[in-house]
Amino acid sequence: MEFSAEVITVFMLGGILVGVLSGFPLAYVIGFLGLIVGLYVWEEAIAQVFYLRMYRLMINYVLLAVPLFVFMGSMLERSGIIERLYQALYIWMGGFRGGLAVVTVMVGTVMAATVGIITASVTLLTLVALPSMVRRGYSKSFAAGACTAGGILGILIPPSIMIVIYGPMAEVSVGKMFFGAFVPGLILSIGYISYIAIRSALQPNIAPPVPLEQRDVPFLKKTSMLAVSLVPPAILILSVLGVIFFGIAPPTEAAGTGAFMAILLTLAYKRLSWEVLRDVMTTTLRLSGFIFLVGTMSFAFVGVFLGAGCGEVVTDFILGMPGGRWGAFGVIMAIVFVLGFFIDWIGILFIMVPIITPIFEVLGFHPVWAAIMVCVNLQTSFMTPPFAMGIYICRGAADPSLGVTIADIIRGVIPYVLIVLVVIVLLAIFPQLILWLPGQMID
Write down the pLDDT at residue 409. 96
- State yes or no: cis peptide before 415, omega within 30 of 0: no
Q: What is the mean pLDDT of each run of 10 residues along the chain (443 residues)?
A: 84 89 86 89 79 82 86 85 85 86 92 80 89 92 95 88 90 92 95 96 91 76 85 86 82 88 90 91 90 87 88 90 92 94 88 92 95 96 89 91 93 96 97 92 66
* CB half-sphere exposure, 66, CA atoms < 13 A: 26
CB 169 within 8 A of CB 354: yes
CA distance 249 to 114: 18
CB 112 within 8 A of CB 121: yes
Question: Cα torsion at 184, 188, 190, 191 (round to 10°)?
Answer: 130
CA distance 49 to 55: 10
Residue 335: count of CB within 10 angstroms of its CB? 18
> Of 183, 167, 159, which Cα lies nearest the Cα of 76?
159
CA distance 3 to 11: 10
Write down the pLDDT at residue 442. 65
CA distance 376 to 423: 8
SS (H, E, C) 249-297: CCHHHHHHHHHHHHHHHHHHCCCCCHHHHHHHHHHHHHHHHHHHHHHHH
Cα dihedral 138, 139, 141, 145 sign: negative
DSSP state string for 159-203: S-HHHHHHHHHHT--HHHHHHHHHHHHHHHHHHHHHHHHHHHHH-
Residue 210's alpha-carbon distances to 11, 26, 99, 215, 310, in angstroms, are 56, 45, 8, 7, 58
CA 112 centroid distance within chain:
9
Write down the pLDDT at residue 1. 63
CA-based R_g, the chain, Å: 22
What SS3 class is residue 394? Answer: helix
pTM, to two decimals:
0.89
Which residues does 280 contact at the CB level (< 8 Å), separation at least 6? 71, 74, 75, 78
CA distance 375 to 434: 12
